[in-house]
Amino acid sequence: MVKVFKFFAYCAFFIVALYLFFPKENLYYKMQETAVQYKVKVFENQIKENLFSLELLDGKLSYEGVEAATFQKAEIRLLGFYNSVHVYSVTLSGVVKNFLPQKIEWIDVSYSFLHPLEVRLLAKGDFGRVEASYAIKDNKIIVNLHPSKMMQMHFRSSLREFKKLKNGVYYYEKSL
């Protein structure tokens, strides 16, 4: 029993040490390079390396050269068993202003060992609240939207893409 405890303690120590010494900033650059292959570019004004996370401050996201969004802060945590990206104060590009409210308070994208076949996304903003997931195995996106009053009043045409459920939730599903 003591040996098993020791083994796990050493493993935990090693993981923590590895995380401390791992060049997180360079790993982010690698992610940036990978994203470019999918025509997605992430830029930031400042990078802050924390003990267990990497922070990007005043960033921009563009797709195919068109600016898609700006964000105040993004916090990346890659712990292996739990990986997440929290993005705060997102402003969507003017391109979407006719489809969606531009302000998003936060977006949380996570992937954990507990749900190995699913990438989860939660977000809250002027549009309301959204719980979405990407099923890796089925290559499918599922979105549950709890629209705000503003969304229901001014962006009704966008809601037409969703299926309204009895509990007031708007559901969207698409196989990629």
Partner 1 sequence: MKNHSNSIYIKIIIILLFLLLLAKSIGVVALWLLPTHGIAAQTGESINMPYVRVDFHNMLANTTKTQQALQHNSLSKTLDINNLVLKALYGKGNYGFVIIATKRNPKKTTLLSVTESYEGYRLKAVFLNYALFTKRGQEYTLRLDSTLATKSLVHVVQNDTTNQIVQRDEINGYVKNPSAVWRDISIQEIGKNGNFKGFKVTKIRAGSPFAKLGLQTGDLIVKANNIVLKSYNDVLKIYQQLDKLRTLTLVIKRGNTEKEIVYEIN
Question: Toward partner 1, which CB reaches closer, 6 or 164?
Answer: 6
Restricting to residues 52-111, which ones interact with partner 1 according to CB under 8 A? 60, 64-66, 93-95, 98-99
- Tell me which amino acid residue 116 is: P
Restricting to residues 112-171, which ones interact with partner 1 according to CB under 8 A? 157
Q: How far is CA 127 from CA 67, 93, 102, 119, in A?
A: 20, 15, 8, 21
**DSSP 8-state class, residue 31:** H
Using CB under 8 A as the binding rule, whether residue 28 contacts partner 1 is answered as yes
Using CB under 8 A as the binding rule, whether residue 30 contacts partner 1 is answered as yes
Token output for 175:
């196989």
Using CB under 8 A as the binding rule, whether residue 29 contacts partner 1 is answered as yes
Using CB under 8 A as the binding rule, whether residue 22 contacts partner 1 is answered as yes
Show the CA angle centred on residue 36, arms to residues 35 and 39, nearest 5°.
100
CB within 8 Å of 23: residues ≥ 6 apart: none
- Interacting residues with partner 1 (CB under 8 A): 10, 13-14, 17-18, 20-23, 26-30, 32-33, 36, 41, 43-44, 60, 64-66, 93-95, 98-99, 157
